[in-house]
Every structure is written in structure tokens, then in C-alpha cells.
């Protein structure tokens, strides 16, 4: 086994820059041009209108760290060489995005066939029908934990929802009282935190038919305070890095006001962690009540801005050719920043996407698709030399990655491996249809002379999954993905 050593970084020299010519608003509907003068990757400039968003531009900090990976002197003593990479149209798997399959988490024993069939996401209800008026039984909790383990073993992640019934509509089976829901969330808290590594996100659930926040038999939708209390209890039960999705955009607006501006994104606030799911996407001229009659454009504009910074997904529920056919479906997914869509429902709609020829484009672009444009680093250098490392990416997906992760530059060869963290890179800020260039001043590792492969590595943030190749992000470029390592090979560096 190759030797791993992650380099701890106490400080870093960093620069975010745009492309040579900044993109215009024509590059992506609803997004303002990059402000190349904006200078803080940790705090993105705010925008006031829901139709625009600035993008992280630059953060510059330098400290002396000797030969631990980050340089303490500039300019670099080893000249960097620019390398370009060919784009690919290949459809391939990446974590936390794409079409999903529906499963029963508490009864499934093997999900490996899901990933083999080309899916990295599953959706599961955890049914609480039998405990509407009492604590969740240990048997239910144990079954849920086993399901988390099955998902982890298969290399997939879960879109999770808790519900007390499966409808029907309009005469639904009961949900639970506010007090009982809060007690159940408190019971679930340690399990959600322990197994957050395989939870992509959680849908708000609990209230009403199917946990869809309508048809509550306990009248939980009449009082906005009840809705907010339950949502925030669920958010508190999860780690701060995980989001909860609401079924109706107006519910988030009632709680937190206008759509997120960039300055409010990626924080541990309730608003920054609350996304959206649409369970009747495209299925009528109001998406079956998702939008109030006559207000579709208002709420789609709201979502287009909010979903720059929070996750969006859902499913269709009926054929409605004016909206469910390919032309509108693709345009809506792009505009509303869709990360995932149900493969199993509504099956006629999904099958029509295949027949009409747009499913492949959806498979390619749902969520993020990070194209590797170019990278710069030396061809040869002495151990300890400072050099400028730069990598340029373009997100050709519909959305940014939904969960944080750390990126690394990896030097690998001759039985040795040196791993240098690129701190300060917020992958959730890699917005769609825009160029992103990340530049750092690094130091050549103290490794024996020889040739070393240089990789860009985007593993899962969880230590439990960090070395699982299935959970690493693959870049969209020809010939760079090393499936055995779960890393993207940029080229070689000869250390003298």
C-alpha cells in the first residue's frame, strides 16, 4: 500500500481569479458577471436582487510554512508550465448528483446493483406509521442504521425523508402531532449525525401526506410557527454541513424572506441550509400546486436565485406535454439548478425523455459537471522549490456541488505519496456555466529524486469515506481520471 501523508495547513497563499475576459450575464441566465476585483473567497459579495449573484473571485493570504507544502516566499523559483486538457462528452458517475432510484432503506440488504446500473443517489422514506403516538422503536432505529451501512457498502448516498403515511390524497392517513414530531426528531438526532456521511440531504418530511407538507391531519400547516419549529429542529439534528429541502418555495420565503444572496451562502444559518424539492415537477401549469395559480414566474425567479446556493431536486408526477416534454424539461432543470431527479416516477415522463432524446443530456448535466480546462505547475524542480500551482475548471452542469469537501494536490510515485490540501476552495461556489481558476503558491515536497504523477483530488469530506474512490469527484476531461485512485491526473513533475 502506498504511503499516505496529509499535510496539515495552518495558512495558505491563495488567489481566485476569473478567465482572461470576464463572462457576461449571457453566460448563465440569472447570474451577474464575475467581479474580478472581488477579493475574498470566504465572504462572497452580496447581491440584492434575486436575479443576480457575484462569484468568488480572490483571496490572498501568505504565511511561512517551510517545506510543508505551502511556500513562504515569492515569486516561485521553479517556472510553471501551462497544460490544457480535452473536453469529453462521456456520461460517467459522480457522487451526490443525477437520476436517483427509490429504495426501502429499512428493508434493503444490498444496493450494489444500483451503482452498477449507473446511479449514485437513492431516495428512501423511513416510515413511522406505527409510532405516530409513541417513541420510535429500537427495531426501526436498528433497521435504519443497517440501511445506512448497506448504502455505504454500495458506494451510494441517500436522499432521506421521514413520513407517517403514504397518503392517499385527499383523504390521507394521519400524520403526528407537533410534540410527537419534535420528540421523534430528537430521537433521530444521534443517528443522523453518526451516519451523515451517506446522507446527501434530508427532505423536510414528517408533515402531511407522504411527508410532503400538505394534507396534515394534525393541522400543522395552519400555523407558520409550527412549520418553522419542525424545520429548524430537523436542521439542528443534522450536522451544519447538511441541508434540508422544503416542498413548497413559499414556505421558505415565509420563514426567511427573499432568496439567498451570495454573501449569505455557505453559512450555518437555517436559510443557507434550506433547499427545495418539487414532487410534481413540470406536471401542470402550476406543477400541481407547487406554485400558486398565476404566480409561477415569480416563484421560478425566486428559485433560480436561491438554488445557486442550496440544493434543488424532485420528481415528476404526471404527463403534461407542454412542460414535461424535453425542450421545457431541460430548460427548467437548467434554470432552477436541478441536482437530481427521480428515475422511477413518473415513469411515462422519464421514458419520453429517452424517446425524445434528452435523457443523455440530463444524465450528463444534472448537478455539477466540472470540466478541466487547464493546469499549471513545473515540469521539473528541486525538492523545496516554490512554484505557482493553478487549475482552471468550468462547471457545465445545472448546479454546483451540494456539500462541502476539501481539495488536494497529490504527488505520487516511487512508492511515495505527498498530499497537500488546497484550503479555502469552497466547491459549492463552483457555480454553473462560469469559469473558475484557483491559484496557490506551493512548495515542491521533500521527496526522493524521480518522476511523480500530479493529481487533483476531490474526495468526500468524511474521514470514513475519504479514501473511497466511489465518493471522489471525477473531472470532465479526456484521459485524466484514475479510477483505481479516485483522482484526476494532471501530468508529471520531475523532482531533481
Do residues 331 and 221 share a domain?
A: yes
Residues in the chain: 496
Listed in sequence order, the residues at least 6 apart from 53 whose beta carbon sits closer than 8 Å to its beta carbon are: 30, 31, 32, 47, 261, 262, 305, 308, 309, 431
Rounded Cα gap, residues 91 and 81, in angstroms: 30
How many CB atoms are located within 10 Å of the residue 371 CB?
A: 17
Does some domain include residue 1? no
Shared domain check, 357 and 407? no
Contact 398, 98 (CB under 8 A): no
Both 314 and 292 in a single domain?
A: yes
Q: Please indicate, yes or no, whether the overall pTM of this predicted structure exceeds 0.85.
A: yes
Note the Cα 395 to chain centre separation in Å. 13
Torsion angle defined by CA atoms of residues 236, 239, 241 and 247, in that order, rounded to the nearest 10 degrees: -50
- CATH of residue 354: 3.20.20.80
Among residues 365, 381, 398, the one where a domain terminates is 365
pLDDT along the chain (496 residues), means of 10: 35 33 37 32 30 29 36 66 98 98 98 98 98 98 98 98 97 98 98 98 98 98 97 98 98 98 97 98 98 98 98 98 98 98 98 98 98 98 96 98 97 98 94 95 96 98 98 98 98 97
Residue 28 lies inside a defined structural domain of this protein: yes
| 21 assigned to some structural domain | yes
One domain for residues 356 and 378: no
pLDDT at 69: 56
Same domain, 391 and 338: no
The answer as to whether 336 is a domain residue is: yes
Residues 155 and 110 in one domain: yes
Report yes or no on 182 lying in a domain.
yes
- Cα–Cα dist 366/361, whole Å: 8
Q: Give the three-class secondary structure for 339.
A: strand
The verdict on 33 and 128 lying in the same domain is: no
Q: How many CB atoms lie within 10 A of CB 469?
A: 16
310 within some domain: yes
Same structural domain for residues 349 and 375? no
Cβ contacts of 112 within 8 Å, gap of 6 or more: 153, 154, 155
Structural domain count of the chain: 2
Last residue of a domain, one of 312, 345, 365: 365
What confidence score (pLDDT) does residue 77 get?
84
The helix/strand/coil state of 480 is: coil
For residues 390 and 339, membership in a common domain is answered with no
Residues ≥6 apart with Cβ < 8 Å to 173: 129, 164, 165, 166, 167, 209, 217
Contacts of 266 (CB under 8 A, 6+ apart): 272, 309, 404, 426, 428, 429
Q: Is 450 contained in some domain? A: yes
* Domain presence at residue 58: yes
- Domain residues for 261? 98-365
Q: Do 241 and 344 lie in a common domain?
A: yes
CATH number where 413 lies: 2.60.40.770
Domain final residue pick, 365, 399, 430? 365
Same domain, 156 and 249: yes
Q: Based on the domain organization, do 277 and 402 belong to the same domain?
A: no
Amino acid at each position: 500500500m502506498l504511503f499516505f501523508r496529509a499535510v496539515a495547513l495552518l495558512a495558505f497563499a491563495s488567489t481566485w481569479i476569473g478567465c482572461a475576459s470576464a463572462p457576461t450575464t449571457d453566460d448563465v441566465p440569472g447570474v451577474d458577471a464575475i467581479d474580478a476585483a472581488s477579493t475574498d473567497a470566504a465572504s462572497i459579495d452580496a447581491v440584492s436582487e434575486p436575479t443576480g449573484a457575484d462569484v468568488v473571485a480572490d483571496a490572498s493570504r501568505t504565511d511561512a510554512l517551510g517545506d510543508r507544502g505551502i511556500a513562504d516566499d515569492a515569486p516561485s523559483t521553479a517556472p510553471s508550465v501551462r497544460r490544457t486538457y480535452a473536453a469529453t462528452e462521456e456520461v460517467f458517475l459522480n457522487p451526490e448528483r443525477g437520476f436517483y432510484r427509490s429504495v426501502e432503506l429499512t428493508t434493503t440488504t444490498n444496493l450494489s446493483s444500483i451503482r452498477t446500473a449507473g446511479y449514485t443517489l437513492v431516495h428512501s422514506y423511513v416510515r413511522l406509521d406505527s409510532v405516530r403516538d409513541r417513541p420510535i422503536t429500537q427495531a426501526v432505529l436498528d433497521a435504519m442504521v443497517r440501511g445506512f451501512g448497506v448504502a455505504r457498502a454500495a458506494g451510494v448516498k441517500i436522499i432521506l425523508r421521514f413520513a407517517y403515511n403514504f397518503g392517499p390524497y385527499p383523504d390521507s392517513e394521519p400524520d403526528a402531532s407537533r410534540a410527537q414530531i419534535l420528540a421523534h426528531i430528537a430521537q433521530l438526532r444521534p443517528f443522523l449525525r453518526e451516519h451523515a456521511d451517506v446522507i446527501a440531504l434530508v427532505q423536510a418530511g414528517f408533515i402531511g401526506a407522504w411527508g410532503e407538507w400538505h394534507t396534515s391531519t394534525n393541522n400543522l400547516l395552519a400555523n407558520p410557527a409550527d412549520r418553522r419549529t419542525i424545520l429548524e429542529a430537523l436542521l439542528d439534528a443534522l450536522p451544519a454541513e447538511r441541508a434540508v429541502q422544503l416542498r413548497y418555495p413559499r414556505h421558505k420565503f415565509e420563514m426567511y424572506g427573499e432568496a439567498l444572496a451570495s454573501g449569505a451562502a455557505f453559512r450555518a444559518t437555517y436559510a443557507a441550509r434550506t433547499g427545495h424539492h418539487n414532487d410534481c415537477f413540470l406536471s401542470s401549469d402550476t406543477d400541481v400546486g407547487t406554485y400558486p395559480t398565476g404566480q409561477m414566474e415569480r416563484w421560478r425567479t425566486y428559485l433560480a436565485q436561491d438554488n445557486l446556493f442550496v440544493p434543488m431536486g424532485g420528481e415528476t408526477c404526471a404527463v403534461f406535454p407542454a412542460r414535461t416534454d424535453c425542450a421545457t424539461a431541460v430548460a427548467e432543470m437548467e434554470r432552477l439548478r436541478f441536482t437530481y431527479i427521480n428515475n422511477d416516477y413518473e415513469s411515462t415522463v422519464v421514458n419520453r425523455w429517452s424517446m425524445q432524446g434528452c435523457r443523455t443530456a440530463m444524465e450528463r448535466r444534472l448537478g455539477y459537471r466540472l470540466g478541466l480546462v487547464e493546469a499549471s505547475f513545473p515540469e521539473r524542480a528541486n525538492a523545496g522549490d516554490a512554484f505557482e500551482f493553478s487549475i482552471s475548471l468550468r462547471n457545465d452542469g445545472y448546479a454546483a456541488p451540494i456539500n462541502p469537501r476539501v481539495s488536494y494536490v497529490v504527488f505520487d510515485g516511487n512508492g511515495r505519496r505527498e498530499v497537500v490540501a488546497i484550503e479555502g476552495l469552497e466547491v459549492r461556489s463552483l457555480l454553473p456555466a462560469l469559469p473558475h481558476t484557483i491559484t496557490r503558491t506551493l512548495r515542491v515536497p521533500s521527496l526522493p529524486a524521480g518522476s511523480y504523477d500530479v493529481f487533483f483530488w476531490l474526495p468526500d469530506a468524511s474521514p470514513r469515506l475519504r479514501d473511497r474512490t466511489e465518493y471522489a469527484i471525477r473531472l470532465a476531461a479526456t484521459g485524466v481520471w484514475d479510477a483505481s485512485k479516485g483522482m484526476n491526473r494532471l501530468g508529471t513533475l520531475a523532482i531533481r
